[in-house]
Amino acid sequence: MNDESHLRSIIGDFSFFKNLPDTDIDFLLTSAVIRKYSKRAFVFTQGNPAHYFFIIISGWVKAHNMNAKGDQSAVHLLTKGDVLGVDTIFDRGSYLSSAETVSDECQMLEIFSETLKEQARISPELAEKLLGLLSHKIKEMQVSDACSVLGDSSRRLACLLLRLSSWMVGKGGTLKLPYEKSIAALQLGMDQATLSRALTSLSDLSVTSKCREITINNFSRLSEYCCVHCPIPEGHCAGRRIPSEKRPQEN
């Protein structure tokens, strides 16, 4: 399979390209490449000029800022279908955060920023797609902000587990944490030791763990434990599992 048809077969999955006119897709792909990264590779670094934006094809990427002493903040974890760096194109021109892979076999679709910007000027559909994308990103930031004020560390961890398991159906199940616990601790803004203790304390809510395999026996019980304190309104957080009779209606 040649590069061109390989690209096309992959992008069919991604919501970014859904409902975009073929002319837009064709034009964007003229400058697009797929690049592979190993674990702990930097995709880009804060402060550097932003020539590309990225769509994650596989793997997990940590977007973060780092101060002079190496402390990290504003850690967001992104995966398949998520987008990196669009916000730089229309405001800054340099990356505000760094992006570093935290899993093996990360693949990114990389598109030249100027191409995107150019095409957005002549395609209302692309422009609207990007507006939706940025709006969605703002929403996600608000959701993860909300998690960080949920109260104690156990509740914040519970919130993360619920969001990571939002694709799972049924009453409970086992989840493989897609990245290291120390990374999850960064994401939650707590110390690694605190996360470890928080996970232990969740055994009261029948959450058990063995290495990175975390078993949640009762999603709705966990959800009642933390989502009750969450300020995000109904229907905006996929993690929430409070049984439907307890909330008005969900879509």
Partner DNA sequence: CGAGTGGTTGAAGAGTGTCAAACAGTGTGG
Partner DNA sequence: CCACACTGTTTGACACTCTTCAACCACTCG
- Quickly count: other Cβ atoms within 10 Å of residue 250's Cβ: 9
Q: Tokens at residue 83, please?
A: 């987008």
Residue 38 binding DNA, by CB under 7 A: no
Nearest to 53 by CA among 68, 31, 74, 37: 31
| Binding letters toward DNA, positions 135-164, x by CB under 7 A | ----------------xxxx----------
In angstroms, the Cα distances linking 133 to 16, 127, 151, 251 are 8, 10, 30, 21
DSSP 8-state class, residue 248: S
Residue 98 binding DNA, by CB under 7 A: no
Q: Which does 94 bind (CB under 5 to 8 A by kind): DNA, a copy of itself, none?
A: a copy of itself
Residue 238 binding a copy of itself, by CB under 8 A: no
Residue 192 binding DNA, by CB under 7 A: yes
Residue 169 binding DNA, by CB under 7 A: no
Q: Which of 2, 19, 22, 68 binds a copy of itself (CB under 8 A)?
A: 68
Residue 194 binding DNA, by CB under 7 A: yes
SS3 label, residue 11: helix
Least CB distance to a copy of itself at residue 6 (A): 30
Asked if 30 contacts 115 with a C-beta cutoff of 8 angstroms, the reply is yes
Q: Which of 81, 141, 215, 238 binds a copy of itself (CB under 8 A)?
A: 141
Asked if 238 contacts 163 with a C-beta cutoff of 8 angstroms, the reply is yes
Residue 114 binding a copy of itself, by CB under 8 A: no
Radius of gyration of the chain from its Cα atoms, rounded to whole angstroms: 19
CA separation for the pair 102, 179 (Å, rounded) = 6
Q: What angle do CA 180, 46, 117 make, to 5 degrees?
A: 110
Positions touching a copy of itself (CB under 8 A) are 46-47, 64-69, 71-74, 86-92, 94, 96-97, 120-122, 124, 127-128, 130-132, 134-139, 141-142, 145-146, 148-149, 189, 228-234, 236, 250-251
Positions touching DNA (CB under 7 A) are 151-154, 180-182, 189-200, 209, 211-212
